[in-house]
Amino acid sequence: MEISVGCRLRYDMAQPTYFIFQIEAAKADGQVVKTEALRLPPTPSGTGYEIYSDPVTATRKVRALLGPGPVEVVYEATVDVDATGFDPADVREFDFAALPMDYLDDLAPSRYCPSDTFTEFAHQTFGECPRGHVRVSRICDWIFENIQYESGSTGPSTNAADVFQSRKGVCRDFAHLGISLCRALGIPARYASVYADALSPQDFHAVFQAYLDGPKGGEWFAFDASRMSSVDSLVRIAAGQDAADVAFAWPQGEVTYQVPEVWAKAEGRGHTTRTTLAIGS
C-alpha cells in the first residue's frame, strides 16, 4: 500500500538554535521509502544538518542549526507499506527463555510506563487470555472500553498509572497504558510515533508495538488502543521505550511555534475516525 505523508513545522526564534527532528519515515522492515524530500532553511553561518539512523529502532534523527527569525521545515515522502494480512491466532508470545536478548529492555518499566505497578491487575484481567496477538488485542479492547479519549486531559508528566486512575487520556496515554500492561505480562512492548491516514483531524499519532512470534518469526506488531487509526496503513517515524524517546522536535533553546501541519493519505482507503481496523493487522 502506497501512502503519501508529510509535515510542515514553523518556528520563530531570537537567535540561532539547534533542533533535533524526528519526522522522517523510518527505513525499516515492512515499509519502504520510495521518495522523500526534507527542506530546511539555510542559516547565516552556512551550517548544514546531520542525519543519524538508530541501528536498533531505525529512527532517523536530524540535527540542524536554524534561525534567527521565522523558519519553516517541510518533510514529504511516499512510502510503500506492507499490508499483508495474517491470522492473529498464529501470532504467539515468546516464552521468556526463548525471547532474544535484544528485546529484554522492552520488558522493563520506563518513565511513562511503570509496568511493575500493573502486574497484579494485568494477570488478573488478562492472564487467562490466549497468549499472543489475541491477548494484546484484548488489552486494546479493555483500554478502549475503559479510558475516555479527551483532548487536554493529560500533560507532559502524565504516566500510564495516572491515566489508569483518571480513566482519561489522549493517544500517547493510550499507547503508554498498552505498553505497561504488555510489559507486566512479559510481552516486550515499545512506543511508536507514526503518520496515520485515518486520523481526523490530522496530527502526529502515537501507537504501541508488541514483539511477538509471527509467521515470519519475531516481529513488531502495531496496536492502536484509541482506535483512531488503521494499523495496516501506518508509516512509522520513530520508536522507543516511551514518548520521551520520540519527540518530533526538540529545540535546544527558547522558540515560539505554530501548530504543526501533518498529512497522510493512502489512496483508495475509506473508513471512519474510530475504526476497528486499529487492532487488525
Write out pLDDT tens, residues 69-93.
999 999 999 999 987 888 999 999 9
Helices marked H in the chain — which ranges?
119-126, 133-146, 160-166, 171-184
Which regions in the chain score pLDDT beneath 50?
A: 271-281
Judge whether 195 and 237 are in contact, CB under 8 Å.
Answer: yes
Tell me, what DSSP letter sits at residue 272? -
Domains and CATH numbers, the chain: 2-81 (2.60.40.2250), 88-244+269-279 (3.10.620.30)
**Cβ atoms of 232 and 83 closer than 8 Å:** yes
* Long-range residue pairs from 93-99, CB within 8 A, at least 24 positions apart, any chain: 93/131, 93/132, 93/135, 93/186, 93/187, 93/212, 93/213, 94/188, 94/211, 94/212, 94/213, 94/218, 96/186, 99/188, 99/211
Which pLDDT value is given to residue 45?
62
Q: What is the pLDDT of residue 59?
A: 96
pLDDT of residue 67: 86
Query: What integer pLDDT is reported at residue 267 of this predicted model?
Result: 75
Report whether the peptide linkage leading into residue 68 is cis, meaning its omega lies within 30 degrees of zero: yes
For the four alpha carbons of 139, 144, 147 and 152, in that order, the dihedral sign comes to: positive
pLDDT for res 81 = 92
pLDDT for the residue 271: 45
- The DSSP H or E segment spanning 101 is none
pLDDT of residue 49: 84
Between CA 20 and CA 223 the distance in angstroms is: 27
Given this model, what pLDDT does residue 274 score? Answer: 38
Distance CA 30, CA 209 (A): 13
In angstroms, the CA 223 to CA 280 distance is 8
